[in-house]
C-alpha cells in the first residue's frame, strides 16, 4: 500500500513515519509548519500567550518532558523513510493537494498538523481516504493541546489513550477506526507516561493502516453514537489546569492504578474499539 503522510517535523512524527514505512510504501511526506492562514482574534491570541507564559513557569515540567521525548526520538530515528519531501506553511496549501494528486496514494495519513480542509480531504478520496491520529480517547477527550495532560488535570486516568479515525472537517470528530486505553500500571514517571502514550499511539496507528491496506474490516463508528464527550481548547490550558495536572499526578495517579476495582469499573463504562494485528 502506498501512503502520503501529512505531518510536522517533530521527532515523534518522524519516528511515526519510519514505523509506517515498515508496513507500507511512503510515497511522500508533507511537512507542515502549521502556520494559521488567518490571524487569530485578539482574545484568542491573548489566551494563547497566557497559556504559553504559564507553561514556561508553572508547566515547565510538561515542556521539558516534551523536549526530552523529541530528543529521544531524534536519536532513534535520525533519517526519513523517503526522499520525496515537501514543506508547506499550512497543511492546506496547494502543494499538499498537488503532492497527493501526483503520487495517487492508496491512503493519506495525517498526524500533528493544523486542521485539514476540504480540498485536501477531497484529494484523498481517490484511494481508501484519509485517516488521522489523536492522542486521546475520542469522543471522551478531544482537542488540545495535550489530552494526556487534560486527563491528569481532570483525574480521568482511565481516559488516557489514543484514537485512530477517518478524518473529517471537525476537530477530532471523524468516525472511529480504533480506540484503546494506553497500558499503564501507575508506576510511571511523568516522562514514562507520555512516552508510553506516544508509543501506543504509533502502535495502533500502524496496525490500523496495515489493516486498511490489507482489506481487513475496520470500524467506522460515528462518535455521537458513542458519547457526547468533552472538547478542550488550547487557550484554556492555563496555570490552574497545569497545577491540577501536576498535583493529581503526584498525589492520585499511583493510588488510582493500585485500586484495580475502581479502574475496572470506570473502564467498563467506556465503549472502546481495540485494533488487532491479525
Q: Please determine, for residue 45, whether its predicted confidence score (pLDDT) is greater than 80.
A: no
Where exactly are the structural domains of the chain?
2-268
Q: CB of 150 within 8 A of CB of 141?
A: yes
Residue with cell 511522500: 28
Average pLDDT for 52-71: 92
Q: Taking residues 249-255, what's their average pLDDT? A: 98
- The helix (run of H) or strand (run of E) holding residue 28 is strand 25-32
Place of cell 477517518: 166
Residue 37 has pLDDT above 90, yes or no: no
Res. 6 pLDDT band, cuts 50 70 90 = very high
Read off the pLDDT of each residue in 209-225 and give the average, rounded to a whole number.
95
- For the segment 170-176, the average pLDDT, to the nearest whole number, is 93
Give the whole-number percent of the chain exceeding pLDDT 90: 90
Confidence (pLDDT) at 97 = 98
Query: pLDDT tens digits for 89-119?
Result: 999 999 999 999 999 999 999 999 999 999 9
pLDDT given for residue 52 in this prediction: 85
* The predicted structure's pLDDT at residue 277: 76
Higher pLDDT, 224 or 55: 224
Q: All 3 cell numbers of residue 212? A: 486498511
Q: What is the pLDDT of residue 53?
A: 81
pLDDT of residue 278: 73
Please say whether the beta carbons of 90 and 112 come within 8 A: no
pLDDT value for 158: 98
- Residue 48: the pLDDT is 76
Q: What values do phi and psi take at 76, rounded to 5?
A: -70, -35
User: How much is the pLDDT for 181?
Assistant: 98
pTM for the structure as a whole: 0.95
Residue 127 has pLDDT above 80, yes or no: yes
Q: Is the pLDDT of residue 41 over 80?
A: no
Question: Distances from the Cα of 181 to the Cαs of 1, 26, 80, 171, 205, in angstroms?
Answer: 28, 28, 29, 20, 13
Whether 67 and 8 have beta carbons less than 8 Å apart is answered as no
- Write down the pLDDT at residue 44: 76
Domain 2-268 has CATH 3.40.50.12230: yes
**Higher local confidence (pLDDT), 97 or 36:** 97
Q: Report the pLDDT averaged over residues 236-242.
A: 95
- Per-residue pLDDT, averaged over 35-39, amounts to 82
Across the range 47-69, mean pLDDT stands at 89
- pLDDT of 50 > 80? The answer is no
Amino acid at each position: 500500500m502506498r501512503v502520503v503522510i501529512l505531518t510536522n517535523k517533530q521527532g515523534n512524527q518522524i519516528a511515526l513515519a519510519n514505523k509506517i514505512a515498515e508496513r507500507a510504501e511512503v510515497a511522500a511526506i508533507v511537512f507542515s509548519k502549521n502556520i494559521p492562514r488567518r490571524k487569530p482574534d485578539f482574545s484568542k491570541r491573548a489566551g494563547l500567550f497566557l497559556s504559553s507564559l504559564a507553561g514556561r513557569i508553572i508547566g515547565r515540567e510538561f515542556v521539558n518532558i516534551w523536549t526530552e521525548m523529541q530528543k529521544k526520538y531524534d536519536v532513534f530515528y535520525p533519517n526519513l523513510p523517503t526522499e520525496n519531501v515537501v514543506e508547506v506553511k499550512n497543511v492546506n496549501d496547494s502543494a499538499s493537494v498537488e503532492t497527493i494528486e501526483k503520487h495517487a496514494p492508496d491512503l493519506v495519513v495525517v498526524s500533528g498538523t493544523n486542521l485539514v480542509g476540504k480540498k485536501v480531504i477531497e484529494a484523498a478520496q481517490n484511494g481508501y481516504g484519509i485517516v488521522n491520529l489523536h492522542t486521546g480517547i475520542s469522543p471522551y477527550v478531544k482537542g488540545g493541546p495535550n489530552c494526556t495532560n487534560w486527563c491528569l488535570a481532570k483525574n480521568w486516568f482511565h481516559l488516557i489513550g489514543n484514537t485512530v479515525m477517518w478524518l473529517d472537517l471537525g476537530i477530532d470528530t471523524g468516525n472511529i477506526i480504533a480506540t484503546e486505553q494506553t497500558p499503564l500500571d501507575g508506576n510511571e514517571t511523568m516522562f514514562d507516561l507520555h512516552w508510553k502514550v506516544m508509543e501506543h499511539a504509533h502502535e495502533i496507528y500502524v496496525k490500523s493502516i496495515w489493516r486498511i491496506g490489507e482489506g481487513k474490516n475496520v470500524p467506522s463508528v460515528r462518535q455521537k453514537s458513542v458519547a457526547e464527550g468533552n472538547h478542550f481548547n488550547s487557550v484554556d490550558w492555563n496555570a490552574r489546569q497545569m497545577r491540577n495536572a501536576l498535583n493529581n499526578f503526584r498525589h492520585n495517579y499511583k493510588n488510582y492504578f493500585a485500586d484495580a476495582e475502581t479502574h475496572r469499573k470506570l473502564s467498563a463504562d467506556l465503549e472502546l474499539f481495540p485494533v488487532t494485528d491479525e
